[in-house]
Chain A
Amino acid sequence: MTPGAGLDIARSRCFSLLSHVDHGKSTLADRILELCGAVDARSMREQFLDSMDLERERGITIKAQNVRLTWRDFVLHLIDTPGHVDFGYEVSRSLAACEGAVLLVDASQGIEAQTLANCYAALEADLTIVAVLNKIDLPQAEPDRRADEIERVLGIPAPDVLRISAKTGQGVPELLDAVVDRIPAPTGDPDAPLQGLLFDSYYDPYRGVVSSVRVFNGTLTTGARLRYLQAGATHEAEEVGVRTPDPTPVAALGPGEVGYLIAGIKDVGEARVGETVTGAAHPGAPLAGYRDPKPMVFCGLYPVVGDEYADLRDALEKLRLNDSSFTYEPETSGALGFGFRCGFLGLLHMEIIRERLEREYDLSLVATSPNVEYRAVRVDGAVEMVDNPSAMPPPSELETIEEPYVTVTILTPTDYVGPLMDLAQARRGEQTKLEYLAEDRVELVYALPLAEIVVDFFDQLKSRTRGYASLDYEPAGYRPADLVKVEVLLNGVPVDAFSTIVHRQEAQDYARRMTVRLRELIPRQLFDVPIQAAVGGRIIARETVKAKRKDVLAKCYGGDVTRKRKLLERQKEGKRRMKQIGRVEVPQEAFVAALRLDES
């Protein structure tokens, strides 16, 4: 009998692994796969964590994966969740596909910010939590102390906390037994109308969109006509299967089962995370909690070379087949020409997309300074959402500007509370909580403007705490603020790439640093190039790049014409890599470097 047909629902368990980065999630997943005899140890990781280069380089997962395993006479559906705050919504949908979660905590490090965030998310999803201390083989492990901490902070009784070493495998069988014993079996009616939750989709060039699906009610049958409720589209279930972790087609998936679904869809935007699939003939109700992905951070992306515009558009189109959570729309910039305004879930997401465009599609791009989406309230009361600083109405037409806030939770060793409070304060943070989780561990909660954390807050946090503090954040609405647009002009031409919206008090400082920086970065041209920064038309900083008077005058070069010509050819190619802003040529590196205004 194919798996999936006639699964005993009472013997199924659906759960995720949750942990702060580096607490051992991947290692534990390897051990579990091994114990359940899923794959031989060597090929395991590649298959289970079938990740992109970028994910591997950054050591994070950004895609939910799932695998079906057999443990004693139970079927376990293990669902891996994305590991970064940018992908919080994907995490919440993965959790919605589970009845329980294993919360993994490093026995020497203790609770970190993501542990807290994950735990709250799991509780919100009504999951049963199995708390586990990992790395007990390490000499510096303090399982008793960490178990007490878990009890105090998370309210999970210390004696219920399991202790394992994902590295040696010690305690892992007991952990799987606890999963079976403590996490409730799914419930659901195989004969009710189908309700399936899509919690991940990716684009496969051969098969089209492959989605991960959890069935709650009804039966998902190969060949059935399906209705995608949010997208409002109908597709045929070309293939339904389970991952063991090899994809294995099955006839059907019933309630309490997790698997994959291929339905001839070409665009992940039509099979979004959170989508409900149901039968076209007897549709069920949509499952709760669907949300359109909402970009939080925006920037303009422009090809360095004007004629790569069409290539960039094609690349964005293709990438979006794979990731429907970023947005793009054409925009024109006075300085940069034709490009796209793109929205991302967060900074990491932005970097990933940009790197993929450059690496996988061989483009050179100029990215403007990242910004958040403002609410501009006009004098007549009209409200506009502004995701591009250069589209901000002039001050005279504005009543107020409101900016998005986030609630930032920081967990830190006590020693670093001072430096972190300084950092948060410098970023206009408002403290809402300071609590000792243990005598050496503090939870700080701040309300902070999102704009203040998008650029380098995380790096600053890490460097001021030698990497010991951790951070998590979630949106917390809009608040009015005294914001101004600082415009940067090169030879009189406003350059949106360098323009930004900042708090009035920071305008002068930004203007000074940016103009000085640009003076250093912009090569001398055939004429003097004034660099100005202005607020509301008033110049607040000015520098000049003096005209170039001479370039390399060749010395006596014998008959070596080749070398000289190669030099000219290289420079000619270099000219092509220059972005022309008005009459000024700006090398691509200047854009990148200018936006890294180091703070001291």
Chain B
Amino acid sequence: MPSSTDAGRRDLGVYVHIPFCAIRCDYCDFATWTDRGGLVDAYVDACVTDLRGRVAAGELTPASSVFFGGGTPSLLAPDALVRILDEIPRRAAAEVTVECNPDSVDGPKLRAYARAGVNRCSFGVQSMQPHVLAALGRTHDPANVTRAVAAARDAGIENLNLDLIYGAHGESRADWDATLEAALALDPPHVSAYALTVEPPTPLGRRVAAGTSPGPDDDDQAAKYERADEVLGGSGRPWYEVSNWARPGHECRHHLLYWAQGDYVGIGCAAHAHRPGVRSWNVRAPERYLERIAAGRSPEAGRETLDPATRADEALGLALRTRAGASVPAAAAAEAAALEAAGLLAGRAERVALTRRGRLLATEVTVRLLAAATPTVSTSVAVGTR
């Protein structure tokens, strides 16, 4: 039920978490389950109930973006996804994204999604090299990707993203080049490329901790990042966030909300939400979510209210990840100048943005600026030699 009277209103996103997958990938620590298929219908019902309650309570004004994330949202039968989406009040031009695993979608499903209002698909491609996909423990092959992209276009969904991962064991530089090339051949307006991250509570994390599997190599990943930025940027998709590249106008509006401290509502288990100054999150397991909703209670598991200083720190950390950059607090001006001299920041007046090398060291740069901006006594001492 798109509404059309939204000009000038503050954006509002709705994130819907779908915690189901066909199999669990070795590297993944998202809130998702492979053995809860029996819960899907009840879960969809609970999301619907949750949404109706919020609309009734006036919490849910028309959304500027909706994001179905997972897990694997594309495991949902079209009518299930449609039932949820129908409950979400949306503005006329709202962006509606569904995360799709390439081997869990087909033409009919995508057409049904599109009819219900889905206008953006984000495909978990990861790699276009079969042996790398195997190393990552993925179930699809590159042909699935090609078919899925074509099916989406067929269904009229043009706004496409491909998620890529670099740094898997056995992925050579040439493999990565090939993945980038094959991904671009599909002509997606948007690409996300993530450095494979070793999360301790995953099978990969345990193997690395036990020393039975080598973790990704920093230098290799750095080189691959630089390559990605060259290739993607060079193809007319400049970076707009550390891990995201898009043709101008195709940036993900929903994700932009995250980086701008915007507002979003979280539906489903493990979903996060933000209202000015208050961050909250739902219970993590789907069963707990069902219980809460059935009991007419809020699914919220925790929340934090941010004081102004923390909000400012947070804003800096988030904004720095984007191409627009962040404004530097006066106290951190000297640090910013040093980082600029080191080639990690580029500045325009007091607004700075990360350089390519700086993006690779985004955490370090952010931490340095935050440490410099915090009024504690510096740990550095005069350096003199005897």
Contacts and interface: CB of A to CB of B under 8 A. Distances in A.
A382 interface: no
B193 to A, nearest CB: 9
B310 to A, nearest CB: 8
A550 B195 contact: yes
Contacts of B242: 553-554
Interface residues of B, number: 60
B279 A568 contact: no
Interface in B95-126: none
B307 to A, nearest CB: 12
Given A336-B381, A337-B381, A526-B342, A551 B361 contact: yes
Contacts of A338: 381
Contact of A561 (B314, B342, B377, B379): B314
Contacts of B344: 526
Given A548-B361, A549-B218, A568 B366 contact: yes
A207 interface: no
B380 A550 contact: no
Contact of A550 (B225, B314, B377): B225
A334 B382 CA distance: 7
B304 interface: yes
Contacts, number: 137
What band does the interface of chain A fall in when counting residues whose beta carbon is under 8 Å from B?
Answer: 35 or more
B202 to A, nearest CB: 12
Interface stretch (A163-171, A530-538, A576-584): A576-584
A564 B261 CA distance: 13
Contacts of A3: none
Contacts of A559: 13, 15, 258, 264, 266, 271-274
Given A559-B15, A575-B367, A550 B218 contact: yes
Contacts of B279: 561-562
Contacts of B376: 307, 576
B33 interface: no
Contact of B194 (A390, A556, A560, A564): A556
A282 interface: no
Interface in B327-386: 342, 344, 357, 359-364, 366-368, 370-371, 374, 376-386
A565 B379 contact: no
A493 B381 CA distance: 13
B281 interface: yes
Contacts of A567: 363
B313 interface: yes
B361 A568 contact: no
A306 interface: yes
Given A494-B386, A548-B218, A306 B379 contact: yes
A562 B381 contact: no
Interface string A516-529: 00000000001100
Contacts of A307: 376-377
Interface string A472-497: 00000000000000000000011000
A558 B15 contact: yes
12 contacts: A335-B383, A550-B219, A550-B360, A553-B242, A553-B360, A556-B243, A561-B261, A562-B281, A565-B313, A568-B363, A569-B313, A572-B374
**Nearest 10 A-B pairs (CB), nearest first?**
A337-B381, A307-B377, A559-B272, A549-B222, A550-B222, A580-B380, A550-B360, A551-B363, A555-B194, A553-B195
Given A494-B385, A560-B281, A580-B380, 7 more contacts: A549-B357, A553-B359, A554-B197, A559-B266, A561-B318, A568-B313, A580-B381
